[in-house]
Amino acid sequence: MLEVLDYAFMQRALLAAVLVGITAPAVGIYLVQRRQAIMGDGIGHVALTGVALGFLTGTNPVWTAVLVSALGAVLMELIRWYGKTRGDLALAMLFYGGMAGGVLLINLSPTGSNANLTTYLFGSITTVSEQDVVVISLLAAFVVLITLGLRRQLFAVCQDEEFARVTGLPVRTLNLLLAITAAVTVTVAMRVVGLLLVSALMVVPVAAAQQATRGFAMTLALAVGIGVVVTLSGTVFSFYKNVPPGASIVVLAIGVFAVITALAAPLAKRRATQRAGRTAAAAEGRCTLKDDVLV
Amino acid sequence: MPKEPDGSARPDEPASQRDTATQRGAATEHASAAADADPVISLRGATASLGGRPILRGVDLAVGRGEVVALLGANGSGKSTAVRAVVGQVPLTGGELALFGTPGRRFRDWARVGYVPQRTTAASGVPATVREVVSAGRLARRRFGPPRKADRAAVRRALELVGMADRARDPVGALSGGQHQRVLIARALAGEPELLIMDEPMAGVDLASQEILAGTLREQVAAGTTVLLVLHELGPLEPLIDRAVVLRDGCVVHDGPPPKAVGQHALPGHDHVHPHAAPDAEPIRTGLLT
């Protein structure tokens, strides 16, 4: 285990992995709460065009990816507001366009190739440069600041948007901020997990955590914990087995999900029986059925 | 405190007695003295449509300070749309809205309004505890920044008011419909509002919860809270209601004393559902208007 740390590239990869493990579930929980788990996937597709633009213009792809995916996320949010019935198709266009545009542009660029593309699609532990680590750390700090600092506000907006508006919260601004934060998270994660699998890391740790928790704060904490564990162990596994880290991380996360689900089901059952016993005792067996017979 | 039958004799509690008043700005405090004369809610000639179909066709609705007004009507008569228009969630295509004497568009003082939307059965994607949901209502008072002692106390008080304090750490997903409704009302009460707007608070609520809700509302009304609530039938809330406004096809057809329920419908806890009622059928079959 420790020999892994002898390599500078692995130190950088592990640091990036921890940051991904923290940020992806921290943003993902709000998307899952709003039943928009798929949004991370969409941003990932769009970010590919951003990466390709970086290659084409000779700038660091992380920055161009942040820019393009943030634009894409804002566009998706606007489509959600105004799109109504055709919003579904408009989103699909954005997904396909992002992917196709990325492949097209990267092949047009002098330095880019499909090999580069694969490292961005499925992650790579050897390509995290020193400059990447700095950029990823800055972006991750932004994500943590928003997702934890505005936890109560974002919770309210994602839980019941109409109620949140009536409390006077700036719901539109918060929604846009969440979309941009999700886009930033995608770019934080793309080096290690890859653009095609980043959405899984936003969703699977949350799905796993909520099998065992009863509240939002606990789910958030546990999901981040699971995220860090799977990204670290997945990255180490990739080092020894020479597989793309995105794949091993996501397979591990799904494994954790399966284990927690298997363990939590009997636990929830026991809890439900206890609760049923409690309420039955409280109601003293009184019948509270309503008369719903039409007369 | 029991309400007088005519609804007018209830002493208007000075706002200064309520701790909510101290949190309002001094400017609002001065303004509220003048604004006392204004109705808390004023909807004049309001029209609204959803998906191109007119839902409100010129609704006049005024709710005075301390009043308890029930909005009655059949399914599709526009009751929900009317209250959602009042809280700014349905845009008016015509007419005027004013809250606390301020035109709807310029109204920003949402901490004075507690809103209880119609309960949806769809559960949220991520579990949340009863306390977490109720705490969201406190954001009306403190939108940003960490919650303080007063905020936590207000949340606890709201939970006690609806008899859910012992369930604070339970996930809302595990609650019955009636308990869930009580949580939504506690969420509105956590902001210590002066005006409570509730959309069908008794729909799908078991008898025990209906009685608790009626008790909660009685305390709020006694403390001087203004209430506008959408009801399918008056039910156990009947003794609290000062005035009933009955909507039919997006128009006000009755504005005055609450109609007396007759026969079976007068029984406490009677909740008559008409899933079969066609839109062109006589909208109110419960004897509410007879």
What gap in Å lies between CA A101 and CA B190, rounded to an integer?
50
Which helix H or strand E contains A179, and what residues bound it? helix A171-190
Name which of A173, A214, A218 to mutate to probe chain B: the one with the most chain B Cβ atoms within 10 A of its Cβ: A214
Given a cut of 90, whether residue B288 has pLDDT beyond it is no
Residue written as token pair 């390709």: A52
Interface of B with A in 16-75 (CB under 8 A): none
DSSP state of B3: P
Structure confidence at residue B74 (pLDDT): 86
DSSP state of B2: P
Predicted confidence (pLDDT) per residue in A15-55, tens digit: 999 999 999 999 999 999 988 888 888 899 999 999 999 88
Q: What single letter denotes the amino acid at residue A44?
A: G
pLDDT band of B192, cuts 50, 70, 90: very high
- List chain A residues with CB under 8 Å of B110: 166-168
Mean pLDDT, rounded, for B75-81: 89
Structure confidence at residue A46 (pLDDT): 93
Average pLDDT along chain B:
79
**How far apart, in Å, do the first and last CA atoms of chain A sit?**
75
pLDDT band of B17, cuts 50, 70, 90: very low
What is the DSSP code string of B237-272? GGGG-SEEEEEETTEEEEEESPPPP-GGGGSTT---
B207 touches chain A (CB under 8 A): yes
Predicted confidence (pLDDT) per residue in B205-229, tens digit: 888 888 888 988 999 999 999 999 9
Residue A268 near residue B127 (C-beta atoms within 8 A):
no
Take residue B237 and report the two structure tokens written for it: 């809330």
Mean pLDDT, rounded, for B247-268: 73
Mean pLDDT, rounded, for A55-81: 88
**Contact between chains at B127 and A34 (C-beta distance less than 8 A):** no
Mean pLDDT, rounded, for B170-199: 91
B279 touches chain A (CB under 8 A): no
Phi and psi (nearest 5°) for A48? -60, -40
Mean pLDDT, rounded, for A177-193: 91
| A291 or A13: which leads in pLDDT | A13
Residue A287 near residue B268 (C-beta atoms within 8 A):
no
Mean pLDDT, rounded, for A138-146: 95
- List chain B residues with CB under 8 Å of A150: 144
What is the DSSP code string of A56-96? HHTS-HHHHHHHHHHHHHHHHHHHHHH-GGGHHHHHHHHHH
Residue A10 near residue A239 (C-beta atoms within 8 A):
yes
Percentage of chain B lying above the pLDDT 70 cut:
76
Closest CA to A205 of A183, A185, A228, A189: A228
> At what angle are helices A245-283 and A114-122 packed, to 10 degrees?
20
Structure confidence at residue B280 (pLDDT): 47
- List chain A residues with CB under 8 Å of B191: 167
Q: Which of A56-65, A270-279, B83-92 has the highest mean pLDDT?
A: B83-92
Residues from A contacting B (CB-CB < 8 Å) are 29, 32-35, 37, 150, 152-153, 155-156, 158-160, 162-169, 206, 210, 213-217, 219, 272, 275, 283, 286, 288, 290-292, 294-295
Structure confidence at residue A137 (pLDDT): 94
Considering CB atoms only, which of A162, A168, A210 is closest to B111? A168
Q: Where exactly are the structural domains of chain B?
A: 15-259
Sketch out chain A's domains with CATH numbers: 2-282 (1.10.3470.10)
Nearest residue in chain B measured CA to CA from A159: B124
B123 touches chain A (CB under 8 A): no
Predicted confidence (pLDDT) per residue in B131-177, tens digit: 999 999 999 888 888 888 999 999 999 999 999 999 999 999 888 88
Structure confidence at residue B283 (pLDDT): 43
In CATH, what class is B15-259?
alpha beta
B100-105: Cβ within 8 A, 24+ apart: B100/B32, B100/B35, B100/B38, B100/B40, B100/B195, B101/B34, B101/B35, B101/B38, B101/B39, B101/B42
Average pLDDT along chain A:
87
Interface of B with A in 134-163 (CB under 8 A): 135-137, 139-140, 143-144, 147
Query: What SS3 state is found at B146?
Result: coil
Given a cut of 90, whether residue A217 has pLDDT beyond it is yes
Mean pLDDT, rounded, for B256-280: 54
Of A171-175, A281-285, B130-134, the least confident? A281-285
pLDDT band of B245, cuts 50, 70, 90: very high
DSSP lists the bridge partners of residue B246 as: B72, B254
Given a cut of 60, whether residue B23 has pLDDT beyond it is no
Mind telling me how many Å the CA of A9 is from chain B's nearest CA? 37
Mean pLDDT, rounded, for A179-193: 91
Mind telling me how many Å the CA of A105 is from chain B's nearest CA? 37
**Contact between chains at B89 and A165 (C-beta distance less than 8 A):** yes
| A256 or B259: which leads in pLDDT | A256
Closest CA to B162 of B218, B110, B111: B218
Percentage of chain A lying above the pLDDT 70 cut:
89
Residue B230 near residue B203 (C-beta atoms within 8 A):
no
Residue B129 near residue A214 (C-beta atoms within 8 A):
yes
Predicted confidence (pLDDT) per residue in A143-172, tens digit: 999 999 999 999 999 999 999 999 999 999
What gap in Å lies between CA A56 and CA B94, rounded to an integer?
53
**Contact between chains at B273 and A292 (C-beta distance less than 8 A):** yes
Nearest residue in chain B measured CA to CA from A35: B125
Predicted confidence (pLDDT) per residue in B31-62, tens digit: 444 445 689 999 999 999 888 888 999 899 99
**Contact between chains at B132 and A155 (C-beta distance less than 8 A):** yes
Query: What are the E-state strand segments in chain B?
Result: 41-50, 53-63, 68-73, 94-99, 102-103, 113-116, 195-199, 226-230, 243-248, 251-256
Interface of B with A in 186-205 (CB under 8 A): 187, 191
Given a cut of 90, whether residue A7 has pLDDT beyond it is no
Mind telling me how many Å the CA of A214 is from chain B's nearest CA? 5
**CB under 8 Å to A289, separation ≥6 — which residues?**
none
